[in-house]
Amino acid sequence: MSHNTFGHLFRVTTWGESHGPALGCVVDGCPPGIRFTLAEIQAWLDKRKPGQSRFVTQRREDDLVKVLSGVMLDDDGETMITTGTPVSMLIENTDQRSKDYGEIARRYRPGHADYAYDVKYGIRDYRGGGRSSARETAARVAAGGLARKVVPGLTVRAALVQIGKHRIDRNNWDWGTVNDNPFFAPDPAIVPVWEEYLDSIRKAGSSVGAVVEVVAEGVPAGIGAPIYGKLDQDIASLLMSINAVKGVEIGEGFGAAELTGEDNADEMRMGNDGNPIFLSNHAGGILGGISTGQPVVARFAIKPTSSILTERRSIDADGNNVDVRTKGRHDPCVGIRAVPIGEAMVACAIADHYLRDRGQTGRLK
Amino acid sequence: MSHNTFGHLFRVTTWGESHGPALGCVVDGCPPGIRFTLAEIQAWLDKRKPGQSRFVTQRREDDLVKVLSGVMLDDDGETMITTGTPVSMLIENTDQRSKDYGEIARRYRPGHADYAYDVKYGIRDYRGGGRSSARETAARVAAGGLARKVVPGLTVRAALVQIGKHRIDRNNWDWGTVNDNPFFAPDPAIVPVWEEYLDSIRKAGSSVGAVVEVVAEGVPAGIGAPIYGKLDQDIASLLMSINAVKGVEIGEGFGAAELTGEDNADEMRMGNDGNPIFLSNHAGGILGGISTGQPVVARFAIKPTSSILTERRSIDADGNNVDVRTKGRHDPCVGIRAVPIGEAMVACAIADHYLRDRGQTGRLK
Amino acid sequence: MSHNTFGHLFRVTTWGESHGPALGCVVDGCPPGIRFTLAEIQAWLDKRKPGQSRFVTQRREDDLVKVLSGVMLDDDGETMITTGTPVSMLIENTDQRSKDYGEIARRYRPGHADYAYDVKYGIRDYRGGGRSSARETAARVAAGGLARKVVPGLTVRAALVQIGKHRIDRNNWDWGTVNDNPFFAPDPAIVPVWEEYLDSIRKAGSSVGAVVEVVAEGVPAGIGAPIYGKLDQDIASLLMSINAVKGVEIGEGFGAAELTGEDNADEMRMGNDGNPIFLSNHAGGILGGISTGQPVVARFAIKPTSSILTERRSIDADGNNVDVRTKGRHDPCVGIRAVPIGEAMVACAIADHYLRDRGQTGRLK
Amino acid sequence: MSHNTFGHLFRVTTWGESHGPALGCVVDGCPPGIRFTLAEIQAWLDKRKPGQSRFVTQRREDDLVKVLSGVMLDDDGETMITTGTPVSMLIENTDQRSKDYGEIARRYRPGHADYAYDVKYGIRDYRGGGRSSARETAARVAAGGLARKVVPGLTVRAALVQIGKHRIDRNNWDWGTVNDNPFFAPDPAIVPVWEEYLDSIRKAGSSVGAVVEVVAEGVPAGIGAPIYGKLDQDIASLLMSINAVKGVEIGEGFGAAELTGEDNADEMRMGNDGNPIFLSNHAGGILGGISTGQPVVARFAIKPTSSILTERRSIDADGNNVDVRTKGRHDPCVGIRAVPIGEAMVACAIADHYLRDRGQTGRLK
């Protein structure tokens, strides 16, 4: 299982299972001189943390992040300054109930990767999903916290825009409300609808899919690269690497299939300040793989978790037909907790391309 | 502009602009002992070739591919056998009308990458789009021809499933008809609809988007890798690297957002032959980033080309407001010619992951 | 400071400074089903550990390694079995005397990387050499412990063959004596010579260079690759990456410059068992970048550490001329402790190329 | 045989065999705006070209290089300006005498990679050595020609310093004489000695090894990276990738093993111009993997070619003992033609690290 690393100059390697002593990441390529506090990184992890509402898994993890290398403390004893060496971050696993998983050690949960892992590796850490547990994404979020610091002026935010068939009204979009509800919904009017719907899903021991939209502002024009190093390609790759993601869009996405060239191409005019203005953003901020300076807009679809209480038909490792019910403390809608993960992935992709342009040390303007 | 290479063990590097003497690719990592004829590779290029119907660009290119290295001729004087060394393939550019492009040398065509290139590189080969010309994809298709040979029993096919708002009826799906119409439509009933619609688009000098679906059969179970080496991630990355692609889906794709866990997870049973059977394929043949042995299903959305006859507002390299009309011989629906390109990208991703599992030489079963 | 990773399928990322809380490595790509005990890994770390004789630094570090991920315990509660996921190993730093280094925070020690780091990064962790401390090599040795397990039948051993001008007598070579003396000398007769010489160096607060030879037996024929993936190239790269290494040789090395084609080429004959026999091993087990089945032989030269008690001329970060004496607990001959590090690097290179041939999972013989 | 690419941001892929229609390289990552003429690149190829004296192979190749992509012509019709897209260069093979090689198709030439290739790939292009032919290095030299242009003020020169046991006198070193003799000798006094010695080798149908020294001046301080991205590591890797190279040294190299810390560390003082001065250059311009601004000095040893007229014992592909004499037009001392190749490799390593620091486009000073 090689390939737990992503990025070309801002390179992130994650490691760890949900039921080992810890998990973490090594961020290699963070330029020197980046200043941050542990609290800033922790804030992103807290956003992803389970158990924050009845709509996500009740598993309890403090998810406290430690920084083991790559920084020196500033005189205030709190601000960390990167030295350019690898930043190793570690999160201990504290709430492991292996007994919950004993009975599925040899049973393949439908919709999970159990069967695929066994075919590939012949061995599988069945405890809590092992490496394919959503806990791996805690390490991504920690890395994303650093990535946000690499590009001056960068803001990466995400919101949930669809649960099941219930979509937000885009005319209501208000970033100010995203953190005021348990769904990261940008439309306050959808909140009661989703509450009622997800309560019914949760009580039925079922689950449902969702769509997340990520918007990055302050992306300098000119990062990315044509052909096989496209910024949108790397964003698509990283979003698709998140567990349960089945689709990715940039800008208009699949909607572009229905448009004509007149409707889709973003016209330009010179602004009063001498800078170009785009009159629309169908492209989602990227043309030919390169950023245009407009906000970068990406969306991704998350399937419903296959950990549900209804019995489903499957087989076991010995080739017997079995019926599987997945007990444990799972998410009725994993899409909710995917919001900060999507932000982290987009931030990492942008940081990587920023450094490809500016160079490894970032010192040479 | 680094990063014109993709793949980890089956590595493809493409090079060339639409208006230079030639373009091509180097396929590095093709295992030894693969047998193919030039005619087999040429057949895929012919499928992508312009000028085959009134619905695609009337640019005339023979797109004859030459193999310059990496093979020895078998005694029949026709069959090439790979030796394991890099296979360099070259396609000469024969129909270059640079004069068509002169006036846009300093004008940024809306929706094209002109502005982004200039911001990034400060220089831009404006002739025919330079590196971001769709001609680059000829090299991908040649590489895909080899990739198809790497995995025994692999079949990769694609079809156009949507043009504008007009979608095929999936109940009519018939692979047998795909090559019988100029659209690669798998539903004969849609053909007259698309013809009429695209004629109107073409006559208006306009363009429209489309959706392509790729299906790979014969993918062995157990290829791919978790986390950042997922098979679906690499497929998404390569499909998103195709010019004009704005969205990618695996299996249910964005539709998964609307499903419950009961509806989405594919149940399993043991088959009579002792092999597992999946009772559905919502996953699109991939779970946890690893193939399950089911057909791999991917879709991608292509935006309408921005080369249209209608005047659009833009700016030039000197910061003046200008109005741009893109003359030249362009595609009313670039999605049509994207069909063989999508096939090639999926074949390359699968070949790469196959070799990651089987090893570089492919000799060690 | 990107690029703390090496290897293509067996990928090792190291992190950590000598004066942070810990250092470690992530081994990504270790195939599933590899069995090992913590004691086996610890044994290699103990071999590298400081303070084991008066000829190496008196710094005290227990260098106890922990395995944080990528394994499941076998029923014996001791044997670890890799699952194919990243193996994260961590070593805590216990003996940090930062005060020793305070005065060199802004002074550039001649022969050290202090000046180069400051030019590149504008910030430098001066405590104990920061990232360029020899402590980083503990993580390499841990990774090497796993690498040795990847290739069935592989043995990698090294010995010190030269200190200063004093070379071993190759006719005396006896692997059995290597661990019986504090120098890893394969020639017992050299031991008293080196003892006396190094005592004089040590008492003078000086240091001296050395040469290490690594021999890998049981390397299957046919691993490696031509051109830019040569096995000897990767061995040279990894040996040169060890702190203080200034030269690398394969087989005859620089001696080959003095030989004729008749003397240098290794002749072959068929053996009685039907396998080819090489009649000599000038090539060091590698031809055209590919292993021949003979022992792989590599040597590397280590410069004397620049941490010496004699005052040397230098400058400080403010541009003043200063005289620098490096206090602290350093190695009179860092070459001694380089012996297990060299072994680890060669083992990692071989494991990586082995997997390139056999594939990621190593399951497909 | 994956891995025909080197470099991280300045990436070179070579392809081609000595007996196919052509060979070449793709240089991906050359920044935009680099200006060069074909004649400048050709000059380096001419330096490597065979047949220029009786001391090298009499094979006749014009080695005319063509540039197929990645450039636009300046108004002078001669100067090429890179656009940032991949530069594809092609060299046709014109003098192929396959008949010379027929009889060794199934015989393993001792000291050549024939046996290793057959073990690995099960198929081998026996004509002229196939991929492992020294002709592959023509592509390296072409790439090196571009690399030299990437770093402003960079000069990379090499000289032959040893043939057999005959070494130059370093006190005589005069760069001005290097191109005045057929050996690239920097010491005119050695020329008649080498002439006489190599004539005897040549007449005997024998061959002999050599040592080349490369010196790069104008390397900015601060390029390279610690640990696994060391500049010296990448130089060692690329020099070791040249056919027949068996050893690599940086600065003092193996000589450092004999020195004390006092003798080896380069002292520093502030210069009158306010810039640091190193009082010696034992380090060869690199400390901790990072350039110091001093000249970068590397040496490499080339073994004698195994293509000699004396019969040597070997086996064939059928397992028979055979005696092999290698006819053909070979080099009595391949080290001579390695001089421009070594230059090219060092130039490429420096260009790559320069771009890692400055970024992909090189536009952002």
Cross-chain Cβ contact D262/C287 below 8 Å: no
Q: Is any Cβ of chain A less than 8 angstroms from the Cβ of C18?
A: no
Residue A137 phi, psi dihedral angles, 5° rounding: -70, -15
Return the structure tokens found at A88: 């190793």
Q: Which chains touch C (3 or more CB pairs under 8 A)?
A: A, B, D
D231-240 vs C231-240: helix axis angle to the nearest 10? 160
pLDDT digits (tens, 9 = 90+) for D221-275: 999 998 999 999 999 999 999 999 999 999 999 999 999 999 999 999 999 998 8
8 Å CB contact of A356 and D360: yes
Rg (CA), chain A: 21
pLDDT digits (tens, 9 = 90+) for D299-320: 999 999 988 889 999 999 999 9
Per-residue model confidence (pLDDT) at position A364: 40
Of D226, D286, D307, the CB nearest to C1: D226
Contact between chains at B20 and D86 (C-beta distance less than 8 A):
no
B365:C364 CB<8 A: yes
More confident residue, C242 or B326: C242
Cα–Cα distance measured from residue D20 to residue D90, given in angstroms and rounded to the nearest whole number: 12
What is chain D's length? 365
What is the torsion angle, in degrees rounded to the nearest 10, for the CA atoms of residue B190, residue B191, residue B195 and residue B198?
Answer: 50
Report the alpha-carbon distance of residue C245 to residue C299 in Å, rounded. 10
Q: Which residue is listed with tokens 């949960």? A: A109
Closest CA to B44 of B344, B360, B316: B344
Q: Write out the DSSP string of C38-61.
A: HHHHHHHHHHH-S-SSTTS-----
Going by C-alpha positions, the residue among C345, C347, C309 that lies closest to residue C328 is C309
Q: In 3D, which of D262, D289, D31, A106 has the Cα closest to residue C3?
A: D289
CA A134, CA A63: separation in Å to the nearest integer? 13
With an 8 Å Cβ cutoff, is C165 touching chain D? Answer: yes
C253, D274: Cβ pair inside 8 Å?
A: no
Asked whether the beta carbons of D252 and C297 are under 8 A apart, the reply is no
Residues 40-59 of A with CB under 8 A from B: none
pLDDT(C365) > 60: no
* Confidence label for C364 from pLDDT (cuts 50, 70 and 90): very low
d(CA C151, CA C360): 13
Instruction: Tell me if B233 sits within 8 A of A187, measured CB to CB.
Output: no
What local confidence, expressed as pLDDT, does residue D101 receive?
A: 62
Q: Do B1 and D360 touch (CB under 8 A)?
A: yes
Contact B284, B250 (CB under 8 A): yes
Nearest to A313 among B201, B228, B279 (CB): B279
Is A307 part of the contact surface with chain C (CB cutoff 8 Å)? no
Residue D11: what pLDDT? 96
Of the candidates C225, C226, C364, which has its C-beta nearest B357's C-beta? C364
B81 CA to chain A: closest CA distance, Å?
28
**Residue-wise pLDDT tens digits, A282-297:** 999 999 999 999 999 9
C-alpha distances in Å from residue A294, one per residue of A285, A314, C268: 5, 48, 67
Amino acid occupying residue A82 = T
Residue C216 tokens, joined = 């890998």
Distance from the Cα of B230 to chain A's closest Cα (Å) equals 7
What residues are paired with D247 via a beta bridge?
C249, D301
Residue-wise pLDDT tens digits, B167-222? 999 999 999 999 999 999 999 999 999 999 999 999 999 999 999 999 999 999 99
Q: Give all chains having 3 or more CB-to-CB distances under 8 Å with chain A.
A: B, C, D
Give me the residues of D, 218-257, that contact C with CB < 8 A. Answer: 221-230, 232-234, 236-238, 240-241, 243, 246-257
Rounded Cα–Cα distance for residues D168 and D187 (Å) = 6
User: Cα(C133)–Cα(B120) distance, rounded to whole angstroms?
Assistant: 39
Residue in chain D nearest B33 by alpha carbon: D123
- Ranking A126-140, A179-193, B157-171, C186-200 by mean pLDDT, the lowest is A126-140
**Interchain contact B191–C (C-beta under 8 A):** no
pLDDT in tens, A54-67: 887 777 778 899 99
User: With contacts defined as CB-CB under 8 Å, which chain C residues touch B357?
Assistant: 359-361, 364
- Say whether pLDDT at A222 is over 60: yes
DSSP assignment letter at B130:
G
Quote the strand ranges of chain A, DSSP E.
5-6, 11-16, 22-28, 35-36, 65-67, 71-73, 80-82, 87-92, 155-163, 166-167, 210-217, 245-250, 268-270, 276-278, 286-287, 290-291, 296-302, 312-315, 321-324
Tell me how many residue pairs between chain A and chain B have CB atoms under 8 A apart: 376
> Quick check: B20 and D124 CB within 8 A?
no
pLDDT of A97 = 59
Sequential DSSP letters for C157-214: EEEEEEETTEE--GGG--GGGGGGSTT--S-GGGHHHHHHHHHHHHHTT--B-EEEEE
Chain C closest-CA separation from residue B351 CA (Å): 13
Give residue-wise pLDDT tens across range A247-275: 999 999 999 999 999 999 999 999 999 88
Q: Which runs of E-coded beta strand occur in D107-154?
A: none
- Judge contact between D318 and D41, C-beta under 8 A: no
Contact B356 C360 (CB under 8 A): yes
Q: Read off the pLDDT band of D1 (50, 70, 90).
A: low
Rounded CA gap, B254 and B239, in Å? Answer: 16
Taking CA–CA distances from D26, the nearest residue in chain B reads B15
Summarised one tens digit per residue, pLDDT across range D138-188 is: 999 999 999 999 999 999 999 999 999 999 999 999 999 999 999 999 999
Residue of C nearest to D301 (CA): C254
From A259, A290, A356, residue closest to B116, measured CB to CB: A290
CA distance C71 to C74: 9
**Which structure tokens are listed for C77?**
């509660």
Query: Tell me, what's the pLDDT at D365?
Result: 38
- Percentage of chain C lying above the pLDDT 90 cut: 76
- Find all residues with CB under 8 Å of D315, minimum gap 6, and list them: C268, C269, C270, C276, D108, D115, D321, D322
ipTM of the complex: 0.95
pLDDT of residue A365: 37
Length of chain C: 365
Nearest Cα residue to A97 out of A163, A18, A189: A18
Contact B360 C361 (CB under 8 A): no
The tokens 């550039």 sit on which residue?
C108
B contact test, residue of A2, A9, A260 with most B CBs within 10 A:
A260
- Determine, for residues C357 and B364 on separate chains, whether the beta-carbon distance falls below 8 Å: yes
Of A28, A69, A360, nearest to C17 by CB-CB distance is A69
Pull the structure tokens for residue B325: 């009309």
How many separate helices (H) and strands (E) can be counted in chain B?
7, 19
Q: Are C116 and C2 in contact (CB under 8 A)?
A: no
Q: Are D315 and C266 in contact (CB under 8 A)?
A: no
Chains that touch D (3 or more CB pairs under 8 A): A, B, C
Sheet strands side by side (includes D5-6): D5-6, D11-16, D22-28, D87-92, D65-67
| Substitution target from D151, D356, D363, D365 for chain A, most A beta carbons within 10 A | D356
pLDDT averaged over every residue in chain B: 92
Burial of B99 (0-12, 13-18, 19+ CB in 10 A): exposed
- In B, which residues are within 8 Å of C8 by CB distance? 8
